[in-house]
Chains A and B, each alone.
Chain A
Amino acid sequence: DAKTTQPPSMDCAEGRAANLPCNHSTISGNEYVYWYRQIHSQGPQYIIHGLKNNETNEMASLIITEDRKSSTLILPHATLRDTAVYYCIVRVTGSSNTGKLIFGQGTTLQVKP
């Protein structure tokens, strides 16, 4: 079962930063936080992942709280093409789980003109 909690939906104005929160209060010390997004009728797209340090790449930034119980995905300048369902996932690791991803319900981000 998914071990994350996200708001079901959010709106963001085009050109502004989109900040998507995620709670993962039961995260274990060796579990990473992954973010994916899914645009309608396509496969999920990898965005970013992190363990405890903040991470940034060409798509987004990931801010993880010091206690690792929550994180925020930041899209610095949202565009209409960023409208999608965003999934925050705690990556299950270990020899018996082979790193599979368990998806929750995600946050539907609507970027508006």
Chain B
Amino acid sequence: GAVVSQHPSRVICKSGTSVKIECRSLDFQATTMFWYRQFPKQSLMLMATSNEGSKATYEQGVEKDKFLINHASLTLSTLTVTSAHPEDSSFYICSASGPGILAPLHFGNGTRLTVT
């Protein structure tokens, strides 16, 4: 089946620094990738839609200048949390969709970000 790889799985950073998270589709080309955030005991919240070769589309309330998304190739999207603060500590999960609007989304195993 389709595999989505996310790296790193865990990261701890100091307040004010930036952190980059990578999301790769290993065995298929993903024209669209999605980034989610999940706080403890809560559901996944969609942050943005990442389209290869164009600007990401952010959900309402998500700061595009704080969460930088780059989708430079059909197999790689990156999320950079800039000037991280403790309240950005969360579980970040990416997903990728192959060709076809109804292809199932496949999810990475998430990145646990802790900002100290």
Contact = CB atoms under 8 A, between A and B. Distances in A.
A41 B43 contact: no
B79 interface: no
Interface string B81-116: 000000000010101010001111111111010000
Contacts of B110: 41-43
B38 to A, nearest CB: 9
Interface residues of A, number: 23
Given A43-B109, A98-B32, A99-B32, A104 B43 contact: yes
Interface of B: 4, 6, 32, 34, 36, 43-46, 49, 51, 57, 91, 93, 95, 97, 101-110, 112
Where chain A touches its partner, the secondary structure class is: loop
Contacts of B93: 43-44
A9 interface: no
A34 B104 contact: yes
Contacts of B46: 100-103
Q: Which of A93, A100, A104 has the most CB of B within 10 A?
A: A100
B34 A101 contact: yes
Contacts of A42: 109-110
A49 interface: yes
Contact of A103 (B44, B57, B91): B44
A100 B34 contact: yes
Contacts of A49: 102, 104
Contacts of B97: 98-99
A28 interface: no
Given A43-B108, A106-B43, A99 B95 contact: no
Contacts of B43: 87, 103-106
B114 to A, nearest CB: 13
Contacts of A100: 34, 46, 49
17 contacts: A38-B44, A41-B110, A43-B4, A43-B95, A43-B107, A43-B108, A43-B110, A46-B105, A46-B106, A49-B104, A98-B97, A98-B101, A99-B32, A99-B101, A102-B46, A103-B43, A105-B43
